[in-house]
Structure 1
Amino acid sequence: MTAKTHFLSRTGLAALVALGLSAGGAGAADLVISNWDGYMAPDIAESFKKATGLEIEVVNHATNEEIMGKLMASGGKGYDLVFVSSPFAEVLNHQGLLETVDEAAVPNLANLYPEAAGLAYDPGNAFSVPYAWGTTGLCYRSDLVEGSPDSWMALLKSPDDLKGKTTMLATDRWLMAAGLLGLGYSVNESDPAKINEAKDLLIEAKKDLLAYDDTTFYSKLVSGEASLVHAWDGWCNYGIADNKDIKFVVPKEGSDLWVDTMVVMKAAEHKENAMKFLNFMLDAENHAWAASNILYKVPNKAAMESLDPELLASYPNMAMTPAELTGFELLRDLGEAQKGYSRAVSEIKAAN
């Protein structure tokens, strides 16, 4: 997910550093990983060393774009294993920067749902391993919103009682997706005319927004500053944790399927160790940590089946099935069309 700055307060950089995970720089590590902060267990270095005897160094990146810039500039050198969202993994593979996943070295691939091994950008998990997946929709205060909003138009053409009480994600792919889906188009639309139509709709919608917000929208719901927000499912759960009147719904026009992946760089100095880490993370207990602690669904059947049923009852979107998730439209690499999205979003943000 492009702009996600994963939930820092749930683990904390200080805890990571205290356990020997670095925020950057070279060292004598047996494996160098780049990941979003807070996206793995805080004792990951300790537990991986206990299991394998290997030392790891973790370098944090804030966004996909940040780590992509470094990887493209260096040809992937300096990192062994990187966490990126699927469209970016697709780009890296097209550039010849990714190592083929060694199935023999990663037997825990068998823990993945069949659907997770058949994703269109990488059938068979040839160059990437999915770590978390989910969708995007409407997160709202059921005690402040009349009825149950079921359309992207609740954001794009807000009724009077929601004007000034809504937020939207500002990142290119998700902002444009809301406009495109509201018009009945694909989240991977490449037709310039349709992209322009969505841009115009989003410029008009901007007039009624409280804010564009990728990081604190759920807290605005909790405080009551906002009544309805554009949200990733897992982040809506952070709001639900504080206020049970907060609900999540996927609009009737549909939504995207986002996937965060682990990839091994072809230029990696420690490829064998990287494969061991992939296998370690796909262990049911290790992978279940992500679902239990960051409240994202993971594509690991054994991990999801191990979760406390009360967790799924408290956060209903956690119980979405693989069939439901893969019924949404998978985000793909847009190629040259990405420039059109970036240009449209720049115009939307510049509009009065």
Structure 2
Amino acid sequence: MPQNRHIRHVSTVLAAGLALTLAGCSGGTGATEAAPVAAAATLDPNADLTKQNLTITIWDGYSPKDLPQRVKAKLGFDLKVTLHDTNEDALSKIHSSAGKEIDVAFVSGQYAQALNEAGLLEPLHPELIPNLANLYPEAANLSYDKGNRFSVPYTWGTTGLCYRSDLVKTEPTSWKDLLSPPPALRGKVTMMTTERWLALPALKYLRYSINTSDDAQLKKAKDLLVKAKKNLLGYDDTTFGDRLKSGEAAIVEAWDGWCPTSEKNIKFVVPKEGSDLWADTMVILKSSKHKEAAHAFINYILDPEIHGWMAANILYKVPNKAAMDKVDPALLAQNPPLKMTPADLLQGESIIDLGQDSAKFTRLANEVAGKR
């Protein structure tokens, strides 16, 4: 899987600034039930798509290389694929002059929420996306956008402990195993610096919400993370899988799809205190002049053969039942995280945009991981 992809979430310094910018436009607070949805455009279900074209922004390696050719052959219009490394890169692009050319953006759920609260997204027209019927019912219960009013989930997963079963005496079951490992494993664990995921192990171990903005709770989490720092091999958001393979690391904080469980002795577990439910989404920009083509494109992505490419090639679960039903059983057997059910995932807590309170997580990350 592409090693530059999973900085899909947030980089510590820039993310909160962009979240603040978007939240400031709308007064966003993270209360998704009350989030405004802009008035929908009037679309023509019989529009001649060959007279339209589409520009998307997506993470590198997050779709088939020949997607433009496939779209042209199936839908009849030209597709231009532009790339972003991170969510904040995508948001910067959307806010730039070049952003006027973007029709569909792939961003993580809390960023879709922030874009919607800023009035920048087109409400979805379900009648133009019949393949929404392929999604699991649970895909409509994600906290950042209940009912899929303005976003369609593309991938989803959780965060947990990825570990070498041959290097640990007792298999980990708690975030404590990462935060305070036994003496033999000190210097052989890694954690993430991506701000919401840096805080996650401590917040969950303390039984707090990962969306908390309570100063006292964040202070306790920070203190726990500072104590944990002395036990770390390092902070690592991208190469932790390689460190496990080499034996340099024994336990790492990892996104499920990036835990190389197809390797001998490498396993993944969600700690008993619980974890998150993250999702990456597809959204249509309100400024798009090709909204019919945008809906047709999303509908095409939801085709089981196309959507299933993610599970087969990137090893990420997709919230598409028809697609997951087609995944090779041998691949599922080699990669147990792929077998997690929607019910399993919904036990996790959805990450939502916190508006101005996002700055608290940026400050926490700087105070913890910034002390090198």
Does residue 1:166 correspond to 2:189, yes or no?
A: yes
Match of 2:261 among 234, 240, 265: 240
Residue type of the alignment partner of 1:108: N
Matching residue of 2:171:
148
Does residue 1:5 correspond to 2:12, yes or no?
A: no
CA distance in 1, matches of 2:130, 2:270: 34
Asked whether the equivalents of residues 124 and 150 of structure 2 are also in contact (C-alpha less than 8 Å), the reply is: yes
Asked whether the equivalents of residues 261 and 336 of structure 2 are also in contact (C-alpha less than 8 Å), the reply is: no
Match of 2:69 among 24, 46, 53: 46
Q: CA deviation at 1:351?
A: 2.4
Identity %: 53
Partner SS, residue 336 of structure 1 = helix
Does residue 1:305 correspond to 2:325, yes or no?
A: yes
Does residue 1:262 correspond to 2:285, yes or no?
A: no
CA distance in 1, matches of 2:203, 2:92: 27
Partner SS, residue 258 of structure 1 = strand
Residue type of the alignment partner of 2:357: A
CA distance in 2, matches of 1:193, 1:78: 44
Structure 1 runs of 4+ with >4 Å offset: 73-76
Residue type of the alignment partner of 2:160: G
Match of 2:363 among 314, 318, 343: 343
Q: How big is each residue's C-alpha offset from its partner over 1:111-142, in whole Å with a ceiling of 9 and x where there is no partner? A: 00000022222122110000000000000001
**What runs of 5+ residues in structure 2 fail to find an aligned partner?**
8-50
Q: CA deviation at 1:288?
A: 0.5
Partner SS, residue 202 of structure 2 = helix
Asked whether the equivalents of residues 151 and 283 of structure 2 are also in contact (C-alpha less than 8 Å), the reply is: yes
Q: CA deviation at 1:29?
A: 8.4
Does residue 1:292 correspond to 2:312, yes or no?
A: yes
Single out whichever of 128-137 and 141-150 deviates more from structure 2.
141-150
CA distance in 1, matches of 2:147, 2:332: 28
CA distance in 1, matches of 2:368, 2:145: 33
Residue type of the alignment partner of 1:94: E
**What runs of 5+ residues in structure 1 fail to find an aligned partner?**
9-27
Q: CA deviation at 1:78?
A: 2.4
CA distance in 2, matches of 1:75, 1:333: 25
Asked whether the equivalents of residues 7 and 294 of structure 1 are also in contact (C-alpha less than 8 Å), the reply is: no
Single out whichever of 74-83 and 105-114 deviates more from structure 2.
74-83
Match of 1:30 among 40, 53, 71: 53
Residue type of the alignment partner of 1:66: D
Match of 2:246 among 223, 244, 252: 223
Asked whether the equivalents of residues 138 and 248 of structure 1 are also in contact (C-alpha less than 8 Å), the reply is: yes
Q: Cα RMSD (Å) of the superposition? A: 1.7
Partner SS, residue 337 of structure 2 = helix
Asked whether the equivalents of residues 35 and 82 of structure 1 are also in contact (C-alpha less than 8 Å), the reply is: yes
Partner SS, residue 101 of structure 1 = coil
CA distance in 2, matches of 1:73, 1:150: 45
Q: CA deviation at 1:103?
A: 0.9
Asked whether the equivalents of residues 56 and 103 of structure 2 are also in contact (C-alpha less than 8 Å), the reply is: yes
For residues 229 and 316 of structure 1, do their structure 2 counterparts lie closer, same or farther at Cα, with a shift above 3 Å needed? Answer: same
CA distance in 2, matches of 1:199, 1:72: 33
For residues 31 and 325 of structure 1, do their structure 2 counterparts lie closer, same or farther at Cα, with a shift above 3 Å needed? Answer: same
Does residue 1:208 correspond to 2:207, yes or no?
A: no
Partner SS, residue 121 of structure 1 = helix
Q: CA deviation at 1:295?
A: 0.2
CA distance in 1, matches of 2:141, 2:180: 37
Partner SS, residue 101 of structure 2 = coil
Partner SS, residue 148 of structure 1 = coil
Matching residue of 1:21:
none
CA distance in 1, matches of 2:304, 2:60: 21
Q: CA deviation at 1:311?
A: 1.3
What TM-score results when the alignment is normalised by the length of structure 2? 0.85
Partner SS, residue 278 of structure 2 = strand
Partner SS, residue 215 of structure 1 = coil
Asked whether the equivalents of residues 52 and 290 of structure 2 are also in contact (C-alpha less than 8 Å), the reply is: no
CA distance in 1, matches of 2:118, 2:99: 10
Partner SS, residue 362 of structure 2 = helix
Q: CA deviation at 1:240?
A: 2.4
